[in-house]
Structure 1
Amino acid sequence: MSELLGVAVLGAGHMGADHIRRIDQVVSGARVAAVADPDADRAAEAVAGIDGVSVHAGTAAALDAPGVQAVLIASPGPAHEEALLAAFTRGLPVLCEKPLVPDAAGALRVVEAEVRLGRRLAQVGFMRRYDPEYRRLKSLLDGGRLGRPLMLHCTHRNVSSPPDFTSAMLVNSSVSHEIDAARWLLGQELTAVTVLRPRSSSHAPEGLVDPQFVLFETADGALVDVEVFVNSGFGYQVGCEAVCEAGTARIGDARAMVVTTAGAAQEEVAQDYLVRFADAYDREVQAWVDATRAGRVTGPGAWDGYAASAVAEAGVRSLESGGRVSVELAPRPGLYA
């Protein structure tokens, strides 16, 4: 492919607008060909100053717009299944922000649709797989220098939660990244989950169970714990420590700018994920564009999206019941072997 890859971006909100900027200003080999968002003013603002972009209210019109060769889905999760299936029908490669589909049944329908096509078209936006720190940890664990991994200790903290955030979303929205990262780092499926509820922070909105402590079990007997705290009040922090037979390795401690003034030193703390993982998002989208232009699909696929949704669904059941819940996955199709 010699010309720029024409991408339709579905959704022009916080994430979608950032991807529109990224494709236009950062990524090479691609251009924004169309944008779809029910909010016409928001869509127009997101593409202001970008030539040759058509703006649409609906998904189908954007996918059928002239010059569209691939799709980036950044719309709310409940809209993903319809958009994915529409892209599959048109044979368009897709980069879909997580979740693939919020519920496991819907995610499995996407997997089955892709299997019927006989080829992979979807990549899921688990951007941590493209973060330099996570990639170094993955390489270290795969190399075997530290022996078998026994435990992963993870933290996931946000400044504050959006107004419509629910207790279930701490698991199926926030912790979904740890679910995929753990599966990828350890090369194992997660088989059971237990969600514990410490007393909620006084800074959490009324009725929100925050923080939560999530414990995963893996197929090979490792344990993964996640402290998720979405109203920490001070910043966005993500960390992971691998405890192995012959040593440990920790990521997430990268030093930011330190400002010294007036008799005190203060270190900057990222305020959201678009700042902390800006480089990972850039690498992810560039890798997707390069693979798509070469006629390939790489990175986390529809099966990874389905597995994450199934584990998160089990986690929500544990949050509600207070007990341990087993994860039940459908048989893995050969397409994803």
Structure 2
Amino acid sequence: MLAAYVSRFSSDSLDGLVVDERPAPPVRDGWVVVDVRAAALNHHDLWSLRGVGLRADQLPMILGTDAAGVVDGREVVVHGVIGGPHGRGVPADEPRSLLSERYDGALAEQVAVPAWNLVDKPAELSFVEAACLPTAWLTAYRMLFSVGGAQPGQRVLVQGAGGGVATAAIRLGAAAGLEVVVTGRDEERRARALALGAAAAVEPGARVPRADLVLETVGRATWSHSVRSVRPGGRIVVAGATSGEPENAELTRIFFTELEVRGVTMGTRDDLEHLLAFLARTGVRPLVDSTFPLADARSGLARLAAGTQFGKIVLTL
């Protein structure tokens, strides 16, 4: 089968990428093989190519955490979190992992996952739209609602317009009656955030009204601004640090203003079911930046690495 995989690690993340034939997924008890129709790209794929979270003895490793496809005529979305406290299909003591960390990922014609990890795809969503959801949109949903506890009428600050989590948070938040304020590096991204439903879009570091909740995925470049921008007793939910670890943890402000800081890695299978139902009922859809055939995975990953996308990049089969 055709697949995009890591052959070796490189600081130039695309040097070790190969798109070529790989063996079909092995058959395991309690697992199923999904015929992939669409698979979305994430920064996780770029980190894997650099060797983050992988060892050399695991190579070659097929990339990808997000997929939608078909199993025996059933249209499904793949929940990419394998094992952990809520998982099935692996030993109970096996640590949680994401597809492409311990088991081959979804950038392939087929992917094997525990049967429990499949969620029915609503007929209202295309395969491309559904493939956008299991990482970025699921993370945004969990940050806003399951962990963030956002309520209609509250103000939410989203750091970094343009990324998959940020665009998902804008659309989900606006549909749920939240006042979404977004920071963006350039005027075009801020304008697009407003078009997606943000109530305001400002330059990074700009003074904003105090937020009830801050969604933080950028890290060093925005952390101090996040801590200063949340109201006393408010909450910051962290799901990434794409610009690196903060140099100053701002602990004094955190304890003095009694802030709550919570971490999120994707979401549960239940969260994914709720997210799919939310989209099917409201008509909200993922923003797709571009699509590429699986055979041209390199172009898609190059666009992601360049940081010029707005929304999700999806590979199609």
Class of the TM-score when normalised by the shorter of the 2 chains:
0.3 to 0.5
The TM-score with structure 2 as length reference comes to: 0.34
Structure with more of its chain in helix, by fraction: 1
